[in-house]
């Protein structure tokens, strides 16, 4: 019984390997997971104590569990069977297709990544690029039902929108964004999922995909997940606040239960002195489509140059970025008054347009587009515009030093970028870019 057994070295290594894996799996890993889980739970409790909108359990569920819950949802299964009958494919194939869509859509939220990295990075990047100003916060926001699902609805001016709003509401809630196909590239996609965003195919006409997406949005809304959506469906190509596309809004209204949790839409208006993608957007508008010709190497080179100039103290930012939060819209009350999804879309876009802040560069661009041909004329038209905008109740976020500072902040960048000449005339070929900025100022 106590004799020596000779075994080959390879077998000894194999036995020790199995023993190590067994020990780690049954004793070590559970203890380590329990230790870190307890720390994570305590950290999350402290985090929820300071947030107005708690991080909900739906957001914290394991991604694999959420994918299964979505794929086996009765309405998704029904849609898969209908898809199978319509296309002639076996039911198992249609169901696996639905599971694929579920895996594509469902995020994998990490509170550590979101609050430990994303919000801090958003704050740093926002302040690096802009002077960030909050133009208005409607007083009714303080009275929103704490149990209601809050959905921020915003105009889509720039991809910086995601960064800016993430930071501005970081002390109130963790936002789940609806993100387009542009972000479905590795490793960016994994990071975006971990921050709670879910991917959507904006132009998809696949009925099964739309049903899976609809159910995810409805489930997240019913569970109280704070969300942010861009009802326009994409970046504004002309600078204006466009009409709403009914996709996500229709899913939310379709799944709403009047006797359950209310849904409150918060209009958010965003404006910039400099839209980083402005020339790309203007070019896409001129071509009559949404094909954005972006060269990654060129973008990387410009980013490197920006950081280099920042380190040498030569980069002072791109001016002002401003946000304003309008009066909340209760879906329960809206539907009780007889409203429908089309009317809801129109009302939300009007509310967003009403709170889009007016900043210096678009204001000066508006004066130039209206025909001002000298500095004195620009100054006079800007003053007249300010008076009319104030009378109309627009949100103005201009430098407090007065008209001289407005002129300096609004006119100098346009001249430096070659959009306007020293003679106050649009540079040939830059008229569309000047109009792009001017169009963001409401006509009053």
Distance CA 254, CA 433 (A): 40
CATH number of 108-355: 3.40.1130
Residue 264 has pLDDT above 80, yes or no: yes
Mean pLDDT of all residues belonging to the chain: 83
pLDDT of residue 171: 77
Question: Cβ neighbours of residue 357 under 8 Å, at least 6 residues apart?
Answer: 133, 135, 136, 269, 270, 271, 322, 323, 324, 395, 396, 397
Distance CA 311, CA 143 (A): 44
pLDDT digits (tens, 9 = 90+) for 424-443: 888 999 999 999 999 999 87
Binned at pLDDT 50, 70 and 90, residue 3 comes out as low
Number of neighbouring beta carbons within 10 Å of residue 150: 25
| Tokens linked to 404 | 């001289």
List C-alpha distances in Å: 339 to 329, 330, 332, 347.
Answer: 12, 11, 10, 10
Greatest Cα pair distance, the chain, in angstroms, is: 106
pLDDT of residue 201: 82
Question: Cβ neighbours of residue 107 under 8 Å, at least 6 residues apart?
Answer: 63, 176, 192, 193, 194, 195, 196, 197, 198
Bridge partners of residue 354, in order along the sequence: none
More confident residue, 329 or 31: 329
pLDDT digits (tens, 9 = 90+) for 127-181: 889 999 998 888 888 888 888 999 999 999 988 888 888 888 877 777 888 877 6
Integer-rounded Cα Rg, in Å, for the chain is 26
DSSP code at position 6: -
Long-range CB contacts for residues 236-239, cutoff 8 Å, separation at least 24: 236/155, 236/156, 236/157, 236/281, 237/281, 237/282, 237/284, 237/285, 237/290, 238/285, 238/435, 238/436, 238/439, 239/362, 239/435, 239/436, 239/437, 239/438, 239/439, 239/440
More confident residue, 319 or 114: 319
Domain boundaries, the chain: 57-103, 108-355, 360-438
Residue 366 has pLDDT above 90, yes or no: yes
């Amino acid at each position: 019984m106590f004799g020596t057994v000779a075994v080959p070295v390879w077998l000894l290594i194999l036995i020790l390997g199995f023993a190590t894996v067994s020990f780690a799996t049954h004793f070590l890993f559970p203890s380590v997971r329990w230790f870190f889980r307890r720390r994570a739970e305590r950290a999350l409790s402290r985090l929820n104590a300071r947030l107005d909108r708690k991080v909900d359990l739906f957001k914290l569920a394991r991604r694999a569990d959420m994918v299964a819950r979505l794929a086996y949802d009765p309405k998704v299964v029904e849609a898969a069977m209908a898809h199978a009958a319509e296309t002639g494919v076996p039911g198992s194939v249609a169901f696996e297709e639905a599971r694929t869509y579920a895996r594509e859509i469902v995020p994998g939220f990490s509170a550590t990544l979101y609050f430990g990295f994303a919000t801090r990075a958003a704050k740093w990047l926002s302040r690096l690029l802009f002077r960030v100003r909050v133009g208005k916060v409607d007083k009714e926001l303080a009275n929103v039902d704490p149990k209601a699902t809050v959905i921020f609805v915003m105009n889509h001016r720039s991809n910086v929108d995601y960064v800016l709003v993430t930071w501005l509401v970081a002390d109130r809630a963790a936002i789940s964004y609806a993100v387009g196909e542009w972000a479905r590239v590795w490793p960016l996609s994994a990071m975006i999922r971990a921050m709670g965003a879910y991917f959507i195919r904006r132009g998809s006409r696949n009925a099964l995909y739309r049903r899976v997406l609809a159910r995810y949005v409805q489930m997240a809304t019913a569970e109280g997940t704070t969300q942010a959506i861009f009802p326009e469906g994409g970046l504004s190509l002309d600078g204006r606040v466009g009409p709403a596309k009914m996709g996500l809004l229709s899913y939310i209204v379709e799944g709403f239960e009047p006797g359950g949790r209310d849904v409150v839409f918060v209009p958010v208006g965003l404006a910039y002195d400099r839209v980083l993608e402005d020339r790309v957007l203007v070019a896409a508008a001129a071509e009559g489509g949404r094909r954005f010709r972006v060269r990654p190497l060129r973008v990387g080179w410009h980013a490197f140059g920006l950081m280099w100039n920042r380190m040498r103290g030569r980069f002072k930012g791109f001016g002002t970025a401003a946000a304003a939060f309008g009066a909340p819209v209760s879906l329960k009350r809206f539907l009780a008054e007889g409203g429908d999804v089309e009317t809801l879309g129109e009302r939300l876009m009007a509310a967003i347009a009403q709170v889009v802040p007016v900043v210096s560069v678009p204001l000066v661009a508006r004066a130039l587009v209206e025909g001002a041909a000298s500095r004195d004329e620009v100054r006079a038209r800007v003053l007249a515009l300010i008076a009319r905008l104030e009378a109309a109740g627009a949100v103005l976020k201009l430098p407090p030093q007065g008209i001289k500072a407005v002129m300096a902040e609004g006119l100098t960048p346009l001249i430096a970028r070659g959009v306007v000449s020293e003679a106050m005339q649009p540079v040939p070929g830059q008229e569309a870019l000047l109009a792009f900025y001017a169009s963001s100022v409401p006509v009053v």
